[in-house]
Amino acid sequence: MPDGSYAHPQQRQFNPYTENGGTILAIAGADFTVIAGDTRQSEGYSIQTRYAPKVFRLTDRAVLAVNGFAADGNMFVKKVKQRLEWYRHAHAKDMPLRAIARLIQTMLYAQRFFPYYVYNILGGIEEDGSGAVYSFDPVGSYEREACRAAGAAQSLVQPFLDNQIYFKNQQLPPGQTRPLHLSLSDVLSIVIDSFTSATERHIEVGDGLEIYVVLAKGRGPQGLEAVRGAQELTTNAEGDRVFIVRRELKKD
């Protein structure tokens, strides 16, 4: 670190990146996907703002969460949205989810030598109606998964998800079987508990929580009717549906 001493050679350089904290998470169900992120944006020990969204609706079936360097994250989302608009102009329909995932890979790798410092998680409904989560590294390596957490509290949340979603390191009493798929209300509880717990123990997580729920076409609203404050964002009533749920998180 340059410190003005004459003892050793020094150099200053502009650092184009910074870490803005926060955590994101996505879980895929049989016919739904949940994508969530806290709303705190910080730099070091300071809070820049208590409300900066990190999760964005791309289409009625795709939601993108971006975490890492906020300026890169916000710009990247804008560019993805532009590409989706060009697709709509050319084909008069929305891009399928796995095509969006591949597109994100090519957009990230195009900046291989000056990367977007962003961990992306794309969640939504596939063409076959199943819930899907795709997670990316900053240069475009990606994979479809059942669940993924990224960001500041990733190391706290991901093991919890491995235990609760994949049932890792859990042994059931003999004779009992695990359910094949989790219900939406179970998944929402896991998401909220992940964030309240991460907020307790990680300084960069807190203030607020935004949860996006994407339901496959034809799947009824069961699991959402009981949820306080759920708002629908769907634009086309004939297809998949997107909802948002907001919750408070501790501000300390």
DSSP alpha helix (H) spans, 12-138: 70-91, 97-110
Candidates 17, 51, 86, 109: give the one binding another protein (CB under 8 A).
Answer: 86
Count of residues interacting with another protein (CB under 8 A): 9
Least distance CB 92 / another protein (angstroms): 8
Residues 6+ apart with CB under 8 A from 63: 33, 35, 55, 56, 57, 122, 123, 124, 212, 214, 242
Least distance CB 169 / another protein (angstroms): 47
Nearer to another protein, 87 or 195 (CB): 87
Least distance CB 168 / another protein (angstroms): 43
Considering only residues 108-127, where is the footprint of another protein by CB under 8 A? none
SS3 86: helix
At 74, list the tokens.
Answer: 């916000």
Candidates 8, 89, 91, 201: give the one binding another protein (CB under 8 A).
Answer: 89
The residue range among 39-47, 79-87, 203-211, 241-249 that interacts with another protein, by the rule CB under 8 A, is 79-87
Nearer to another protein, 86 or 167 (CB): 86
Nearer to another protein, 116 or 134 (CB): 116
Return phi, psi of residue 244, to 5°: -125, 140
Candidates 16, 48, 49, 85: give the one binding another protein (CB under 8 A).
Answer: 85
User: Other CB atoms closer than 10 Å to residue 40's CB: what's the count?
Assistant: 27
Considering only residues 205-244, where is the footprint of another protein by CB under 8 A? 235-238
Least distance CB 87 / another protein (angstroms): 12
For position 93 contacting another protein by CB under 8 A, the verdict is no
Candidates 17, 78, 106, 250: give the one binding another protein (CB under 8 A).
Answer: 78
At 183, list the tokens.
Answer: 């219900």
Cα gap 213→187, rounded to integer Å: 10
Written in H, E and C, the secondary structure of 159-213 is HHHHHHCCCCCCCCCCCCCCCCCCCHHHHHHHHHHHHHHHHHHCCCCCCEEEEEE
Nearer to another protein, 82 or 155 (CB): 82
Nearer to another protein, 86 or 166 (CB): 86
Cα gap 252→161, rounded to integer Å: 24
Q: Of 246, 24, 52, whose CA–CA distance to 157 is shortest?
A: 24
Nearer to another protein, 30 or 53 (CB): 53
Cα gap 27→228, rounded to integer Å: 20
Nearer to another protein, 24 or 66 (CB): 66
- Residues forming the site for another protein (CB under 8 A): 78, 82, 85-86, 89, 235-238
